Amino acid sequence: PHAIHLKDYRAPDFRVPEVALDFFLDPQATRVAARMRMVRTGAAGAPLVLNGEALKLVSVAIDGHPLKPDQYTLEPELLTIPDVPDKFILDVVTEIAPADNTLLSGLYTAKGLFCTQCEAEGFRRITYFFDRPDVLAVYTTRIEADKKLYPVLLSNGNLMEKGDLANGKHFAVWNDPFPKPSYLFALVAGDLGVLEDSIVTMSGRTVDLKIFVEHGNEPRATYAMDSLKRAMKWDEEAYGREYDLDIFMIVAVSAFNFGAMENKGLNIFNDRVLLASPETATDDDYARIEGVVAHEYFHNWSGDRITCRDWFQLSLKEGFTVFRDQGFSADMRSKAVKRIEDVRALRLRQFQEDAGPLAHPVQPQSYITIDNFYTSTIYEKGAEVIGMLKTLVGDEAYRKATDLYFSRHDGQAATVEDWVKCFEDATGRDLAQFRLWYRQAGTPTITASGHYDAAKKTYALTLAQALKPTPGQPEKLPMHIPVRLGMVGKSGRALPLTLEGDNAPGPEERVLELTAPQQTFVFTGVEEEPLVSMGRRFSAPAEFRIEQSAADRTHLMAHDPDSFNRWEAGQTAARTAILAMMKGAAPDPLYVAAIGPVLERALDDMAFAANMLSLPLESEIAMAMDVVDPDAIHAARVALIRAVAAAHRGAFDALYGKLSDTAAFSPDAASAGKRALRNAALRFLTAADDGAAADLAARHYRTATNMTDMVAGLAALARMTSPEADKAFAHFHDRFAKNALVLDKWFGLQATSPRADTVERVKALMKDSHYDLKNPNRVRALIGAFSGNQLRFHAADGSGYTLVGDVIRQLDGVNAMVAARMAGAFETWRRFDPARQALMRAELEATLKTPGLSSNMFEVVSKMLA
Ligand code: B3K
Ligand code: ZN
C-alpha cells in the first residue's frame, strides 16, 4: 500500500459533462452499461486512466467502436486507454455481484434490498470512472429489475419515466440536473414502504418528501420526517439555503458502514439513525436522529452544491456540516446542554486521537486509505475550527462570509483555502495565522496564571500556549486562539473586564485573542480578587489550565454566570477528586457538598442538572493520567459516586419520586430532560449495587413506559450480579428478539458492564444466533461497545485484547472499513503500563502479520505501531 499526498494533486485530464447509467439488477450478476461523454481538458495525447475495483469488464467502446483487448490495459484497479480523441463517447459495460459485496461499498444487497454507498471510493466498484470528487457530471440513471421483488426503483434527482417490461420486469429513469461527483451517486431498489409529506420552501416551491422504510416501519419514520422539515426551515433562516430539487428522499437500510450518506436528493441512512418510537428508541436516539437527518440534509449545500476538490479537503464539507447540525440541534434543544454534549464527545474521541499515534491535522497531508480519515478530527475538530472563526469575526460577519462562500463556489469542487479566503474577503481580517488550525495536529494547552494587585485594583492575566509534537510534526508554531472569559468575584458577582487602555468599563465577558506563545492582559478597576472563568462555552478545542483550589472550583460550580463553565468546574472538581482518591485521599468533601445546591436547583433546568450530576467518564479520567490504571480509575469513580449518594440520599429520593412520569410520551427536549434527571437520580440511588439497589433498578425497568427508562433500569442492573438482573435481561431479549435495533442495545449493555465476567459473556454472545459479523450495527453493538469498556477491555490478563484482536482480524476479510475503524480500540496502547502495552502490541503485531491484510487495516495498525 502506498500513500497519497496533497502536494501531488493534479487536475483531471478530462471533463465528463454527462454520464448515463443503465442498471440491469440481479443479486449475483448485475450488469451496468455506462455511457460517458468525455472532453479533454489536460495535456494533448494524455491517456485515459479510469478507476475500477472488483469489476468484471464486459466491453468497452469509443464512439461506438468496440475496443480490442490490445487497445487498452486492465490492472486490478485501473483501466488505461492510451489512445483517445479529444472529445468522445465512452461506453463501458461491467458486471458486478452485489450479493457478495460484504464490504458494503459500491452496490450491495441487504435483506433483499439493493443499495449503494459510493463515498469515498465506492463508485469505482460499479463502473470504470474518474472516481474523484473534482469530476462533476450530470447523471441519468435507468434501472431495470424484477417488479415483484423490487417494486421501488430510486436514484438521484427527478423521476423522468417509468414503465413495465416483459418477463415481470419494470424500469425507472431518473435524472439529476445538478452536476455532481461520483461519490454522491445513489441507487436503491427493493420492496419498501413509504412515509410521504411535503414542504413549501422560502420561494414558494413545493417539495415532496419521502422516507422509504421496510413495510410496517412507516410510523417509526415520523420523527425523522418531522426533523427533516424543521431542518429544511432552519437552513433557510440560519443560512439562507433553500432546497433545490422537487423531491427529497431518504431510504433506511439495516446494513450500513456508518451513520448515513448525503447522496444528492436520495439520502441513505443506517436505520439506527432513522427509526424511532417510544417503545424502541431512547431520548438519545431521538436526538441523534434529529441531528443526523439535519446533517445529511444540510450537506445538500455544504457538500453537494459545493463539494471538495480532493479528499484532503474533507473537513470543508464535514466540519462545516457538523457545525451546522450542532447549531440546529442547539436551537431545537438547549444550547448549553448541546454544547456540553458536543464538548464531551470531542474530548472523548478527538482529544484522544490528537494525543495518540493516529493524530492528524484537520487538513491531512497524506493518507493510504481515505476511509480511515472519516475521523473525529476531520468532523468534530473541523466543526470547532469553524466555531472559532465565528467567535473571532462575530455572528453577522460569519453569515456574510458563508453567504459569500455559497455564492462564490456554487457548483464547484472547492478547497479549505477557498473557504478561509471567503472569511478574509468578507471581513477584512487577516487569517494567516488562523490557518494553522487546519495544518497543525494536536490539542494546544492554554495555561493561565494571574496576579491581583489589591492596591492598584489591577489583575494581570498571563496566557501561555503550548502544543506537543505529533507524528510527522516535531515543531509547532503558536496558534491564533480565541479565549472567551469572565471573572467572578468571591462574592459571586460577575466583574467587568476592562482592559488597560479601554476608555469605558468593559463587558462581563470578552474574547481575548492569544496569538503569541505568551501574552499578558491587564484588567483595571478590578474591585476584588477575581476567579477566572476561562474558555467559556469551550471557545477553542484546547486544554484550558488554571491553578484553582477545590474551593475555587466549587465556587465557580455554583456561581459562574456561564452555565457551560459551571458544568466544566464541576467536571474538573470531580476529576481532581477522583485522581486524588486514586492516591489514597478521601472523597473531596467540598465536591460532595457542592452537589447539594445542584440538587436544590435541579428542577430549574433538568437536562442541565442531569449533566451536572454525571461524573467524568472513566476514559476521560484516563486522559489526565500519564500511565492509565483502569482498575483504580473505576474503583475511585465508583467510590465518589457512592459518597455523593450517601451524602444526598434524601434529596435524590425526593427528586426521583417527584419526577416519576405519568404523562404520555413525548420526545421533546423538556420531557427528555426530565427523564434524564430522574435517571441520573437512579444512578445514585442504586450506587450500592446491593440487593436493595437491584430491587429499585428492576422496579424502574418493569414500570418503564418508554425505552429511555427501560435502558436506564437495565444499565443499573448490568452492573450487578443478581437474579433480578438476569430476569430483566432475559425479559428484554424475548420482548425485542425481532427488533434488530433494540436487540443491539441488549448486546451493548452487556458488553459495557463492569462485571468481572464481562469478557466471558461477550464471548458467549458472539455465539448467539443473533450475532452476525456481516452486520456492522451488530458488531459495533457488541464488540465496539466492549472495546469502549475501559475496565474490561483492559483486563490485566489480556483477555479483552485477544477478544477484540481476533474479531478485527476476522472482520478484516469481511468488511475492512469497519474492521480498521474498530482497530482504533488499540490507539491508546502506549498510555498503559508495560505489561498491558506488551499485550496490546502483540495483538497489533499479530494483526499486521495476518495474510491478505487490507490496506485499511495496514494503515491504522502500522501507524499505531510506528
Ligand atoms: N459523508 C458521509 C460519510 C461517508 C463515509 C465514507 N467512508 C456521511 C456524512 O458525513 O454525512
Ligand atoms: Zn457529513
* 826 in any annotated domain: yes
Distance 124 CA to ligand 1 centre (A): 17
Q: Tell me the percentage of the chain whose pLDDT exceeds 90.
A: 99
Distance 58 CA to ligand 2 centre (A): 35
User: Residue 397 maps to which CATH number?
Assistant: 1.10.390.10
Tell which one of 261, 269, 317, 376 to mutate to probe ligand 1, the residue whose CB is within 8 A of the most ligand atoms: 261
Rounded to an integer, what distance in angstroms lies between the CA atom of residue 557 and that of residue 559? 6
Q: Whose CA is nearest to atom 5 of ligand 1?
A: 119
pLDDT band at 663 (very low <50, low <70, confident <90, very high): confident
Q: Tell me the percentage of the chain whose pLDDT exceeds 70.
A: 100
User: Residue 23 maps to which CATH number?
Assistant: 2.60.40.1730
Q: How far is CA 673 from CA 222, 603, 605, 613, 702, in A?
A: 21, 10, 8, 13, 21
Both 133 and 182 in one domain: the answer is yes
Q: What's residue 434's pLDDT?
A: 99
| pLDDT, averaged across the chain | 98
Nearest to 581 by CA among 531, 634, 647: 634
* 694 in any annotated domain: no
Q: What's residue 550's pLDDT?
A: 96
Q: What's residue 159's pLDDT?
A: 98
The secondary structure of residue 47, as a DSSP letter, is P
Both 47 and 177 in one domain: the answer is yes
User: Residue 798 maps to which CATH number?
Assistant: 1.25.50.10
* 155 in any annotated domain: yes
Q: What's residue 431's pLDDT?
A: 98
Nearest to 463 by CA among 545, 392, 523, 569: 545
Residue 650 neighbours by CB distance under 10 Å: 9
Both 762 and 854 in one domain: the answer is yes
User: Residue 488 maps to which CATH number?
Assistant: 2.60.40.1840
Long-range contacts of 35-38 (CB under 8 A, 24+ apart): 35/89, 35/90, 35/91, 36/89, 36/90, 36/92, 36/129, 36/137, 37/87, 37/88, 37/89, 37/90, 38/14, 38/84, 38/87, 38/88, 38/89, 38/90
The secondary structure of residue 586, as a DSSP letter, is P
Both 554 and 663 in one domain: the answer is yes
Both 173 and 63 in one domain: the answer is yes
* 668 in any annotated domain: yes
* 704 in any annotated domain: no
User: What ligand is nearest to the CA atom of residue 103?
Assistant: 1
Tell which one of 296, 317, 321, 856 to mutate to probe ligand 1, the residue whose CB is within 8 A of the most ligand atoms: 296
pLDDT band at 232 (very low <50, low <70, confident <90, very high): very high
Both 185 and 98 in one domain: the answer is yes
Q: What's residue 1's pLDDT?
A: 86
* 421 in any annotated domain: yes
Distance 571 CA to ligand 1 centre (A): 32
Active site residue 296: yes
Q: Give tens-digit pLDDT for 68-90.
A: 999 999 999 999 999 999 999 99
Distance 539 CA to ligand 1 centre (A): 26
Q: What's residue 662's pLDDT?
A: 75
Q: What's residue 411's pLDDT?
A: 98
Both 670 and 818 in one domain: the answer is no
Q: Residues 1-11: what's their mean pLDDT?
A: 96
User: Per-residue DSSP letters for 304-331?
Assistant: TTBEESSGGGHHHHHHHHHHHHHHHHHH
Q: Into how many domains does the chain fold?
A: 5
Q: Is the pLDDT of residue 491 over 90?
A: no
The number of the ligand 1 atom at minimal distance from the alpha carbon of 257 is 7
User: What ligand is nearest to the CA atom of residue 269?
Assistant: 1
Rounded to an integer, what distance in angstroms lies between the CA atom of residue 334 and that of residue 605? 9
Q: Whose CA is nearest to atom 4 of ligand 1?
A: 119
Q: Residues 319-344: what's their mean pLDDT?
A: 98
Q: Residues 370-396: what's their mean pLDDT?
A: 98
Q: Give tens-digit pLDDT for 418-430.
A: 999 999 999 999 9
* 672 in any annotated domain: yes
Q: Whose CA is nearest to atom 7 of ligand 1?
A: 371
Distance 420 CA to ligand 1 centre (A): 23
User: What ligand is nearest to the CA atom of residue 302?
Assistant: 2
Both 510 and 564 in one domain: the answer is no
Both 95 and 219 in one domain: the answer is yes
Query: What residues line ligand 1, using a CB cutoff of 6 Å?
Result: 119-120, 258, 260-262, 295-296, 299, 318, 371, 374
Both 330 and 467 in one domain: the answer is no
Tell which one of 297, 318, 367, 860 to mutate to probe ligand 1, the residue whose CB is within 8 A of the most ligand atoms: 318
* 28 in any annotated domain: yes
pLDDT band at 635 (very low <50, low <70, confident <90, very high): very high
Q: What's residue 661's pLDDT?
A: 74
- For residue 464, what is its C-alpha cell? 501561555
Q: Residues 275-292: what's their mean pLDDT?
A: 98
* Domain end position, chosen among 651, 670, 685: 685
* Domain end position, chosen among 405, 439, 473: 439
* Domain end position, chosen among 267, 298, 329: 298
Both 514 and 385 in one domain: the answer is no
Neighbours of ion ligand 2 (CB under 5 A): 318, 321
Both 785 and 857 in one domain: the answer is yes
Q: Whose CA is nearest to atom 2 of ligand 1?
A: 261
Distance 315 CA to ligand 2 centre (A): 9
Q: What's residue 629's pLDDT?
A: 98
User: What ligand is nearest to the CA atom of residue 319?
Assistant: 2
| Contact predicate 22/144, CB 8 Å | yes
Containing structural domain, residue 631? 547-685
